[in-house]
Amino acid sequence: MEIIYHGHSCIQLVSEGKSLIVDPFLKGNPQAVAKAEDIRTDAVLLTHAHADHISDADAIARNNDAPIVAIVELATIMSGKGAKTIGLNLGGTVDLGFATAKMIQAFHSSSVVLNDGNQIIYAGMPAGFILQAEGKTILHAGDTALFGDMKMFGERYSIDVAFIPIGDHYTMGPDDALQAAEWYKAGLVVPVHYDTFPVIAQDAETFVRRLEDKGLRGQVLAPGEKLTV
C-alpha cells in the first residue's frame, strides 16, 4: 500500500491499482504540489465541510466519476453539486471494494459558508476515518480536539499509521496530539494540519522528536511525499 501526502490534511491511499483521497485541498493551498485535475481516484472521503478540506472534492469526484463519502448532511450538499455520494453517519462503514472506511467521531465543527460569509449552513457532525486495506489499518483523525475515546480506538484496533493534526488554534496542538498518539498506539504517527497558514504554524520535527522520547515512531512528510506501508 502507498500513501501520498498532499499537504494540510489531504492523504491519498493507493492499493492494488485503486485509490481513495481524503479531504482534498489543493487549489488555494500554498503548499500543495498536485493539482486537482491531475488526481486519479476511485473515492473521495470528507471528514467535515470546512473549505480547507472540501475545496476540490466535487471537481475530483466528477472528473473521476467517483463517489464522495461523507456524513449524510455533507453528502446531500455535495450531491447538489452534481457529485455521486455515499452518505454515512458516525459508526458506519462503507466497503469500497479495495478498502473499507469506518466513520469515527471527531470533536470540531462543520459548516459551509455562503454569500461572502453572511450565511452558514450546518453540514453534519465532523468525523475521522479508520481505513483498512491489504491487512493494514490507517487512522485519519480529521480535525479534532483531544478526547478520551481516542484511547478506545487504540485498544480496539491495531493501527499501522495515524494521521494526527498538530496545528493548534483550530485543532489539537502538539501537546494534546502527543497524548492522542500515546492513546492510538500506532506503529507510525504522521503530523498533519499545520504550517498551511500562519495561525497553525508548528515545528513538526520537534513533535516527532517528542514522540520518539516516548518510544513512539513519527515521520514528517512533505507535500507530494509518498509512504509505503
**pLDDT per position as a tens digit, 154-193:** 999 999 999 999 999 999 999 999 999 999 999 999 999 9
- The model's pLDDT over 43-71, given as tens digits with 9 standing for 90+, comes to 999 999 999 999 999 999 999 999 999 99
Q: Are 28 and 7 in contact (CB under 8 A)?
A: no
Other Cβ atoms less than 10 A from the Cβ of 219: the count is 15
The CB-side HSE value for 227 (13 A sphere, CA atoms) comes to 22
Strands 161-165, 226-228: parallel, antiparallel or unpaired by DSSP?
unpaired
* Residue 58, domain member (yes or no): yes
The answer to whether the beta carbons of residues 137 and 130 sit under 8 Å apart is yes
228 found inside a domain: no
Distance of CA 133 to the CA centre of its chain: 16
Domain count, the chain: 1
Cell numbers of 59, please? 471537481
How many Cα atoms within 13 Å fall on the side-chain side of residue 93?
8
| Residue 229 lies inside a defined structural domain of this protein | no
pLDDT at 124 over 90: yes
Residue 221 lies in a domain: no
CATH number at residue 80: 3.60.15.10
- Mean confidence (pLDDT) of the chain: 97
3-state DSSP assignment of residue 199: helix
| CA distances (Å), origin 150, targets 53, 105, 124, 174 | 22, 9, 21, 16
Phi, psi of 53 (to 5 degrees): -130, -15
Full domain range(s) for residue 153: 2-216
Note whether residue 99 is domain-resident.
yes
Determine contact, residues 176/22, Cβ cutoff 8 Å: no
In this prediction, residues 197-225 reach a mean pLDDT of: 98
Q: Please indicate, yes or no, if residue 108 is contained in any of the structural domains.
A: yes
pLDDT at 117 over 90: no
User: Does the pLDDT at position 114 exceed 90?
Assistant: no
Give the sign of the dihedral formed by CA 157, CA 162, CA 163, CA 165. positive
Mean pLDDT over 2-15 rounds to 98
Rounded to a whole number, what is the distance in angstroms from the first to the last CA of the chain? 5
pLDDT band at 115 (very low <50, low <70, confident <90, very high): confident
Beta-bridge mates of residue 101: 94, 131
- State pTM to two decimals: 0.97
Tell me if 226 is assigned to some domain: no
- The residues, any chain, with a CB within 8 Å of residue 214's CB and separated by 6 or more, are 178, 181, 182
Residue type, 102: K
Q: How far apart are CA 11 and CA 20, in angstroms?
A: 8
Burial zone of 84 (CB within 10 Å; 0-12 exposed, 13-18 middle, 19+ buried): middle
- Indicate whether 53 belongs to any domain: yes
